[in-house]
Structure 1
Amino acid sequence: MKKGTFKGLEAIILENEHLKAVVLPDFGGKVASFYDKKADYEWFYQAKVEQLPMPHYGSTFGEYTPSGFNDLFPGVDEGPHPINNRKVPDHGEVWSMVWEVDEKLDNGVTLEVKSPVFPYILKKTITLLDDGLEVRYRATNTGEAPFAYIWAPSILLNMNEHTQIEVPEDCNEIISIEPDNEHLGAWGSRHPFPITQSKDTKEEIDLSKMAPKEARNVEKFYFATRLSSGWCRAVQKDINKALYYSFDPDKIPFLAVFKNHGGWLGDYNFSLQPSTGMYDDVYVANKIDRVAKIAPESEDLWIFRITVEELN
């Protein structure tokens, strides 16, 4: 671990023979860059700016150059929280807050943030491995009532015509959560995965692949059932590698996919989002029991790993 700067902000740099990761404690504790030295490839989507603007609490996510790996917590959509009806900001609280550096490690760092509105403390230890990145989370409920939350990693990845996503075999149906989409239809529309038919053009579409940037659309969907296996992969055949996400499906039982074909901010990127809740809105998720809960004065622990794999 060493100190440095990244796009004008103070950074913690984790580096070994194979990989380099850049952490920005003041910008939501985000992992801003994940660079594969051997492939000479940046996995994380980079905002095309020389200076990253610093968000403030409650900022709108899309106004602050979305890029890299941000934690979304305690919800994703802006809206009321079931514990006290106080507003959860857009994409949650913690991505726009300053995280305190709690402990420095040889190959990692522990960061911590405390909500000014809700009764929780979120801590994470980011460790650079020989073949990837491990993040260990600890969410503590400091209140006297159960605390509902959605956590998801918003990891915006670079993509091109070679990009493909892979998921467990039983992930064979999706639910669209975009308000309206030319191919997937209205919010709540269900489709088989990976092959479906466009609602608009009636053409066959492979949802595991990406449309060109010229499509100018956005897709976000959840797989319809709880996960029985805790993994998903982003495959880049052009560099003969994949980014493999692994996690405990008992802790993180849902999976969403976000694909931005130039339709949001003009960017071209995508995100695989394992999640502790469904449909992004923590108030709704709590109503339908698709959400994680921490008992009063207790804590939840979970581990999320990213591994760089060579394709066979």
Structure 2
Amino acid sequence: MTVILRASDGALQVVIEPEQGGRITSIRGTGREWLAPASPRDPATGFSDAGSGGWDEVAPTVAACRLPSGRELPDHGDIWRLPWSVLDSGIEHCTMSVALTSLPLTLTRTIVVAPDRVRLKYSTESSGAEASGAESSDSGVPLLWSAHPLFAAHPGTRIETDATMITEDFPRAGLSVEWAGALAIDDVSGAQKWFASDASVARIRHADGSLLEMTWSSATLPRLGLFWDTGVFEPHPVVALEPTTGRRDDASAIIDELPRVGPRQALQWWVELRVRRAEQAPPLPPRGDGRG
């Protein structure tokens, strides 16, 4: 069942595929499709081979890893492989949920479309089963969650953010450099993944000046992943803005830093998008001027 959400004035439309891991396959506004084309998913294959494009929810890891207990977590987690249950849906909103198979967690997401924005609200709860081994504790189950939208990158498309420093995670981990304010897909060769720890807003801007602006709840999502790919993992150039609970893609490397979800204490956060034409775009806030 495909779910199509539309703003009351028709300015924004969002398409969701609950059976395909709850994936958002289209965000259309200002006369543009913002997401990269979303090909059909095959959950029997690896993430990079399973179908590109769209917006996936990624948890409880991004990179495949082994937790201290020996528990194996698959590449980009398991949410994208699982069908989601639609709990409530209308013209402008949809709430759906999914129970992870790798860890005892349930994720619920509500998407609300308004004339000037798309808001995604999340809540994660422990399913009640005990996580075994070193990844569990009295304080709950660790959660590495990341938004995983792949935005179409045409010549001149660039990422802008108010971050001051970024740290590389792929292809080499650990290098920190001063962020120049923007980086275009034209200036990247291959694929790069970096993290910013002091960003409060981020944008995808196309050559014609139209832009998508993203904000998020920084208390729960203290890091922002930045991704450029000219054709290594995706068939077409893409860029990504990835608010996340962790500073690395490998959950096992930062497991002691991750937020934990207890049996009676939900973890909640939000991500908000606005799409604007060039003449509607305000300037970015001063770099390093606090968190949103």
TM-score by length of 2: 0.85
**Is the 8 Å Cα contact of residues 77 and 281 (structure 1) preserved in structure 2?**
yes
User: Aligned partners of 1:237, 1:211: CA distance in 2, in Å?
Assistant: 11
Structure 2 Cα separation of the partners of residues 298 and 85 of structure 1: 26
Post-superposition shift, 1:160?
1.9
Give the alignment of 1:92-131 within 5 angstroms.
92-131=77-116
Find the counterpart in structure 1 of residue 285 from structure 2.
none
- Distance in 2 between residues matched to 1:20 and 1:310, nearest whole Å: 16
Percent sequence identity is 22
| Match 2:65 to one of 63, 68, 79 | 79
Structure 1 runs of 4+ aligned residues shifted over 3 Å read none
**Structure with more of its chain in strand, by fraction:** 1
Which residue number in structure 1 is paired with residue 178 of structure 2? 192
Deviations 1:76-127 (A, max 9, x none): 1111245x43211111110111001111233111111112331111111111
1:24 corresponding residue in structure 2: 17
C-alpha separation between the residues in 2 aligned to 1:263 and 1:301? 33
1:46 aligns with 2:46: no
Change (3 A) 1:284 1:208: same
Query: Aligned-pair distance for 1:40?
Result: 2.3
Identify the range of structure 1 (256-265 vs 121-130) with the bigger mean alpha-carbon deviation.
256-265
Distance in structure 2 (CA, Å) of the matches to 1:303 and 1:173: 23
Question: Within 5 A, what are the aligned runs for 1:112-191?
Answer: 112-141=97-126, 142-143=128-129, 145=137, 146-168=140-162, 171-179=163-171, 186-191=172-177
Q: Unaligned 5+ residue runs, structure 1?
A: 1-9, 180-185, 196-206
What does 1:169-248 correspond to in 2, within 5 Å? 171-179=163-171, 186-194=172-180, 208-211=183-186, 217-223=190-196, 226-227=197-198, 230-238=200-208, 240-248=209-217
1:74·1:88 contact (CA, 8 Å) conserved in 2?
yes
Q: Secondary structure at the match of 1:280?
A: coil
Q: Secondary structure at the match of 1:67?
A: coil
- Picking from 45, 48, 56, the partner of 1:70 is 56
1:20-40 residue CA offsets vs partner (Å, 9 max, x unmatched): 11100000101101112xx32
Partner of 1:204: none
Superposed CA RMSD in Å reads 2.0
Q: 1:55 maps to which residue?
A: 43
Question: CA separation in 2, counterparts of 1:251 and 1:172?
Answer: 20
Please state how far the C-alpha of 1:302 moved relative to its aligned partner.
Answer: 0.8
Which residue matches 2:273?
306
Retained in 2: the 8 A contact 1:15–1:21?
yes
Question: 8 Å contact 2:167–2:177 — kept in the other structure?
Answer: yes
State the shift of 1:230 in Å: 3.0
Kindly provide the amino acid, as one letter, of the partner of residue 247 in structure 1.
W
Q: Corresponding residue for 2:282?
A: none
Amino acid paired to 2:183: S
Give the TM-score taking structure 1 as reference length.
0.80
2:78–2:102 CA contact under 8 A, matched in 1: no
